[in-house]
Amino acid sequence: MARRGGYEGPLRCLEQAQALQVQETRTLLMTSNLPCALRSADFLVPCATDRVALAKYFVNVRAVSLALATSLSTEDQGAQSEPEANPTKWHLAHTTRFFEAVVLMPYTSCVPFDPSYLLFFKSYYESLGRRHPEAQRRLLTRPSLSEVHRYREHIDAAVLKALDKVDWDTLKSIGPLIILGLQLEQQHQERIATDALLVFSCKPLPPT
């Protein structure tokens, strides 16, 4: 075997530095689109019965999920690197499903946006019905990403309408559930970033 002289150490360091630079670039791409106008005060958990403050909190938290996905292509958002990870598109729909199934359907006259979504985008809450196999979420090419965005817009509008219109007793019921759903949303924002970075790590080409 030919010797590489004294170059092994420097070459290894160079490769490690290049890998770190690629990883930093990927992380920057994921976070550069976060809403800069939002302040830390915008994410303080409000009183569950304060209609105005809760509506603002809802809009702010939900906006971060879409901002995280802005730098990802449609193909990126449908990829699943391993069974324990999830596509970005699935995260966006799953968090929306919570508000539909747990807040709107039990407490308002809301009907399912699409009954199949209740199955496709359900996670491990067995008491809420059957779910699509976790390892096969990458196969959910339909609904499309644009349809998932329409789903989010529809449910967001319905939640904001409910916050504005429901009676006091109903507000006392749905307020804590909305806060719980937003905490779920924030958990999945972390997953959007980590799962997307894991997808990037499996690709031969760096993101642009």
pLDDT of residue 153: 97
Residue 3 covered by a domain? no
Backbone angles phi, psi at 124, to 5 degrees: -95, 10
Residue entry with tokens 């196969």: 139
Residue 12 covered by a domain? yes
Task: Look up the domain containing 167 and give its range.
Answer: 8-201
pLDDT of residue 51: 97
Residue 130 covered by a domain? yes
pLDDT of residue 157: 97
Q: Give the DSSP H or E segment for 171.
A: helix 168-201
Residue 206 covered by a domain? no
Residue 122 covered by a domain? yes
Start-to-end CA span in the chain (Å): 38
pLDDT of residue 196: 79
Nearest Cα neighbor of 174 from 44, 55, 41, 43 is 55
Residue type present at position 163:
L
Would you say 185 and 62 are in contact if contact means Cβ atoms under 8 Å apart?
Answer: yes
Verify cis geometry, omega within 30 degrees of 0, for the bond prior to 35: no
pLDDT tens track for 105-136: 999 999 999 897 877 667 766 555 565 555 45
Q: Total domain count for the chain? A: 1
Q: How far apart are CA 78 and CA 62, in angstroms?
A: 20
- Angle (CA) 35 191 203, round 5°: 100
Summarize the confidence of residues 8-22 as an average pLDDT.
52
* pTM for the model: 0.76
Cα separation values, 132 from 35, 86, 87, 117, 126, Å = 32, 12, 13, 10, 11
Residue 106 covered by a domain? yes
